[in-house]
Structure 1
Amino acid sequence: MKDKAVAVVMILLFISAMGTKGKALPRSAMELRCQCIGTHSKFIHPKFIHNVNLIPSGPHCKNVEVIATLTDGREVCLEPTAPWVKLVIKAILDK
């Protein structure tokens, strides 16, 4: 009797493992494109910046992306090579 129960459990585990192979992640779990179409390089005073997200380059996008959320809720893509943006990134990484 025990042997049959163990065999049934093993078969169920094997079937469930086979069923998960090759499934794609939901689109919300991975974004496969760049978030920034264009970038903003003019200085934005830090008091107007609520949050900054730094997204490194990778398979989803060849560019490093810096996305600032402003205090009014807008999101702005910043030019990562602008001197003032480099200072912001350095300050974030130093924290």
Structure 2
Amino acid sequence: MEKGGAPFLLGIIFLTLIGVQGSPIMRSQRCSCITTNEGAIHLKSLKDLKQFAPSPSCEKTEIIATLKNGNQRCLNPDSTDVKELIQKWGKQVSQKKKQKKGIKHQKSRNVLKVKRSQRPRQKKTT
């Protein structure tokens, strides 16, 4: 072999080994929700609502509701009650975000007013 061929060959082997080690390992072919509940959940008892789209590890859409008491329930994504719950939850979350932005804006205004009023006034000298 030529002098330049050995480092080249070692470089290719090195890159191949790195590529093999970096390949992702597939998760087990399981869904988080084995069964779904048909019962209605009240919006007041809901802490969080997550929706997972179909993926290689699970072929179906999954909706997991976390209740305020810490329990989790899998909901049927085809149910009309669940679809309504998702819409109401989305509206509630967006309203909370708007309220938080409004409160932050009001606080910043109050801080500016306080800072202005605490400054000592300088007398004009002419």
**TM-score (ref. length: structure 2):** 0.52
Quote the residue 1:21 is aligned against. Answer: 19
In structure 2, the CA distance between the partners of 1:92 and 1:47, relative to structure 1 (3 Å rule), is closer
Alignment of 1:1-95 (within 5 A): 11=11, 15=14, 17-23=15-21, 24-25=23-24, 30=27, 32-91=29-88
Aligned length: 84
Structure 1: any 5+ residue segments left out of the alignment? 1-6
RMSD: 3.0
Higher helix share: 2
Larger Rg: 2
In structure 2, the CA distance between the partners of 1:77 and 1:59, relative to structure 1 (3 Å rule), is same
Structure with higher RCO (Cα < 8 A, 6+ apart): 1
**Displacement of 1:78 after TM fit?**
0.4
Amino acid at match of 2:31: C
**TM-score (ref. length: structure 1):** 0.67
Higher strand share: 1
